[in-house]
Structure 1
Amino acid sequence: MFDNLAQYGVEFLTIAGIHLLAVASPGPDFAVVLKHSVSFGRRAAILTSIGVGLAILLHVAYSLLGIGILIQNTPGMFQILSYAAAAYLLYIGWGALNSKPRQPSDLNVAQLSKQTISDKKAFWTGFLTNGLNPKATLFFLSVFAVVVSAQTPNSIKLLYGIYLALATGLWFCALSYCLSSTRVREFLSSKGYWFDRVMGAVLILLAIKLALPE
């Protein structure tokens, strides 16, 4: 299998280029990782990023199994997925939108670090945010239907998927590392409740966009 990888080089580079543009574009994943970086710190943000990356494998799995085509061609099923994603983003966004001002004594990093979220919740927030996103569904359907040749073996497609999951996770982990640095957290958290409210509004707008028909 590995001896034949060279012939899929152009296909892989095309996928990698498209993915780079997609993952760098602001969306629900970016908003959630950004919020966790500032509100809960580096560990929570990295676990959220790992959840986002592993959710990519979910999209890869149903694309390889052909379930993605079923979702795409069944408007009711796709609409249900859109509503589920919108409801989840609304839930997260509403909580952020109701963020309260912090006391001046709470604005240092030591105090900010006392705000906690469990590892499990941080991970599942990232996983569900990406896994329920119908835009991610459409992205993978497009990639596997248009860019990837029908003659490409499933083993090679799986390698593509593993790369996409790793690249996504590493991108958001790097973002988490930068955003959760002491100086950045202190700067963003000086007006933390406004930051939370803006992120909440963004998530709610994304939810509305998902729920409304194109």
Structure 2
Amino acid sequence: MPSVSVELVAVATITLLAVMSPGPDFAFVVRQCLMRGPRAGYLGAVGIGLGIAVHVSYTLLGFGLLMAQHAWLIEVIRYLGAAYLIWLGLGAFLPSRGQGDPVETVEDSQRRSGDAWLLWQGVLCNALNPKAMLFIVALFSQVVSSSTALSVQVGYGLFIALAHVAWFALLTRLVATRGMQRRLQSFGRVLDKVVGACLVGLGIRMATSG
């Protein structure tokens, strides 16, 4: 049986490698920052952390393995997640109320989007990602020993969630720097469409992958 310290190192290493891998969450946070400013990016980061907490919660309650063993349930989550990513991505190609680049319309965009909705977008982006679900289930079933105290497992889950929040908050901070904002003023709209296309592509890939 591995010691808690060995488990912690393993959980921390795997988590950091996973959270830094580009994926739907990464593209989602970047687009939030482009269209609605850093506040939306930070709220999205917290939402992603809450999405991870959802996966951790049902895994610790014993439902994670049960869900993973039912292929139809994974398929439902996969198609819902794919549809959500495609919907998010298509937003980059729909006509907006204002003109100009995304940076110039941040205040108007924030007025049209409440904090609660911005937060829930992050939750849905992660909670509807079957890869995030399988990652958490695999981590707690293959890396964390079943004999590890529940309080320690909860601590692992809290660390994983906070690691996601910290990473995507850092990403938001980098996108929101003054130098980056100056660059966005020249090609922000094009970049938004590129990120939107990436979200659509990720959604299609999620829908077509087994």
Matches within 5 A, 1:167-186: 167-186=163-182
Contact 1:46 1:173 in 2 (8 A): yes
Q: Distance in 2 between matches of 1:72 and 1:39?
A: 35
Aligned to 1:56: 52
Aligned to 1:3: none
Counterpart code for 1:90: I
Point out the more displaced range, 184-193 or 7-16: 184-193
Counterpart code for 1:115: S
Aligned to 1:22: 18
Aligned to 1:44: 40
Please state whether the residue corresponding to 2:109 is helix, strand or coil.
coil
Contact 2:82 2:204 in 1 (8 A): yes
State the 1:108 CA deviation: 9.2
Q: Distance in 2 between matches of 1:108 and 1:192?
A: 6
Q: Distance in 2 between matches of 1:198 and 1:156?
A: 42
State the 1:99 CA deviation: 5.7
State the 1:151 CA deviation: 1.1
Residue 92 (1) aligns with residue 84 (2): no
State the 1:140 CA deviation: 0.5
Alpha carbon RMSD of aligned pairs, Å?
Answer: 2.1
- For structure 1, the 5+ residue unaligned runs are 1-5
Q: Distance in 1 between matches of 2:197 and 2:10?
A: 34
Q: Distance in 2 between matches of 1:203 and 1:125?
A: 14
TM-score after normalising by structure 2: 0.91
Q: Distance in 2 between matches of 1:88 and 1:68?
A: 22
Contact 1:189 1:195 in 2 (8 A): no
Counterpart code for 1:78: I
Show structure 1 runs of 4+ deviating over 6 A.
none
Residue 66 (1) aligns with residue 53 (2): no
Match of 1:115 among 109, 119, 144: 109
Contact 1:83 1:210 in 2 (8 A): yes
- For structure 2, the 5+ residue unaligned runs are none
Sequence identity, in percent?
39
TM-score after normalising by structure 1: 0.89
| 1:132/1:109 CA distance change after superposition, 3 Å | closer
Q: How many residues align?
A: 207
Aligned to 1:146: 142
